[in-house]
Amino acid sequence: METPFLALIILFVITPVLVIYLEGKFSILKKIGAVLICYGVGLIIGNMDVLPHGAEKYQNMLTDITIPLALPLILFSVDVRSWFKMARSAFLALVTGLISVLLIVIIGFFIFRNDIENSWQVAGMLVGVYTGGTPNMAAMKTALNVSQELYIMTHTYDLTLGAIYLVFILSIGQKVFLWFLPPFKPVETEGSAAEEINTEEEFESYDGMLKKKTLLPLLGAFGISVAILGVSYGISLLLPKEYQTAVVILLITTFGIAFSFVPKIKAIKKTFQLGMYLILIFCLTVASMADISKLSNISFSLFYYVALAVYGSHIIHIALARIFKIDADTVIISTSALICSPPFVPVVAGALKNRQVILTGLVVGIAGYAVGNYLGVLIAYLLK
């Protein structure tokens, strides 16, 4: 590998580390979020004409391998058994949330399909992002062979509208939801506070990842993720070429969930954070491949489709929650976990002044990671 390209790889690998470090030091950066920062930095790098000629080969390599390697690491932390132990309201919030997203994305597809090129791909990405956040949307990009520009535009609109949603939830959201839904009823459980603190630490903090007792098992988990990718790719070669990429993502998801049942693998700390670090590399790299001159041409139809998916799914979710008498806090934490991903759960729970819903939000969010890829690929190809 030539020196300029070695430097290019180092740039994309080291920059997310710096972003994570600075995010931990400055609260304003934490509010913006590492994903958005990496997208911004990537757009700047890619449009300053500083990358060497032929860089696309290595950028494509990074975007192709980061998501397949990240998904198993994220899914190793899934506790499938706990899904069946959730309270009735929490389980219903997950199911009604998924139904709301699927219904509104399908409705939006038939409204905008003649105005948006490859609208079936957009539908798959929206199902992915609103059931599991950035990791699932990135997985849909890979599985459905979405172009860089379409992916960046869709995710940019998602981030913009998602930020507005978060401001609403963190300010007056609870009061508005209480107009339609019953209030949360606190449940006294022994040791719940310690459990909540541990789950928050488990999904947010990168501290201690490089310590020997954490790093060595984490490298082992990474090795398993590499093996999962290799096996999944090998199996996909038995199928027609047009389905191979989608099958790889679905197999990786399935193996990731299966390995989460292995106690020694599930006990490895910081697998979720390592997976998210790979997601940040993906965000930085894919943004560096986007042409801002193309992004400047705003697609109003695409913007309206994303807006319909975000806010329309909420309206349907509230209506279903009212029918099944799900409380406001459970609905808010569940939709936040599905739309914004689990790392936002403690933040939203703090705004609700209700730490008892943290575990519910995390379980719902991780469930979204697990099922979102299946649903995204299924809906995309059905609509295609």
Give residue-wise pLDDT tens across range 194-233.
344 344 455 567 887 888 888 999 999 999 999 999 999 8
Residue 136 pLDDT > 50: yes
Say which DSSP state 49 is in: T
Could you tell me where the beta strands, DSSP code E, fall in 29-124? none
Mean pLDDT of the chain: 81
Q: Which residue has the higher pLDDT, 287 or 318?
A: 318
For 271-309, give the DSSP string: HHHHHHHHHHHHHHHHHHTS-HHHHTS--HHHHHHHHII
Please, which residues have CB within 8 angstroms of residue 364's CB and are 6 or more apart in sequence?
Answer: 90, 93, 94, 97, 333, 334, 337, 338
The pLDDT of 329-354, averaged and rounded, is 76
Q: In this predicted structure, which of 313-317, 332-336, 363-367 has the lowest mean pLDDT?
A: 363-367
Find the radius of gyration of the CA atoms of the chain: 20
pLDDT attached to residue 67: 78
Six-digit token string for 315? 């309206």
Q: What's the rounded Cα separation, in Å, for the pair 85 and 281?
A: 35
Q: What percent of the chain has pLDDT over 90?
A: 17
Mean pLDDT of 357-376: 78
| CA atoms of 115 and 298, how far apart (whole Å) | 13
Across the range 4-21, mean pLDDT stands at 82
Q: What is the pLDDT of residues 142-183, one digit of tens each?
A: 888 888 888 888 888 887 787 788 778 877 888 889 999 888
DSSP E strands in 188-297: the ranges are none
- Amino acid identity at 180: F
- Range with the poorest average pLDDT among 238-247, 317-326, 341-350, 363-372: 341-350
Task: Name the residue with higher pLDDT: 90 or 149.
Answer: 149
pLDDT tier at 320, thresholds 50, 70, 90:
very high
Query: In which band, very low, low, confident or very high, does the pLDDT at 192 lie, cut at 50, 70 and 90?
Result: very low
Residue 269 clears pLDDT 80, i.e. is over it: yes
Whether the Cβ atoms of residue 356 and residue 119 lie closer than 8 Å to each other: no
With a cut of 50, say whether residue 104 has pLDDT above it: yes
**pTM of structure:** 0.68
Q: For residues 188 and 228, which has the higher predicted lDDT (pLDDT)?
A: 228
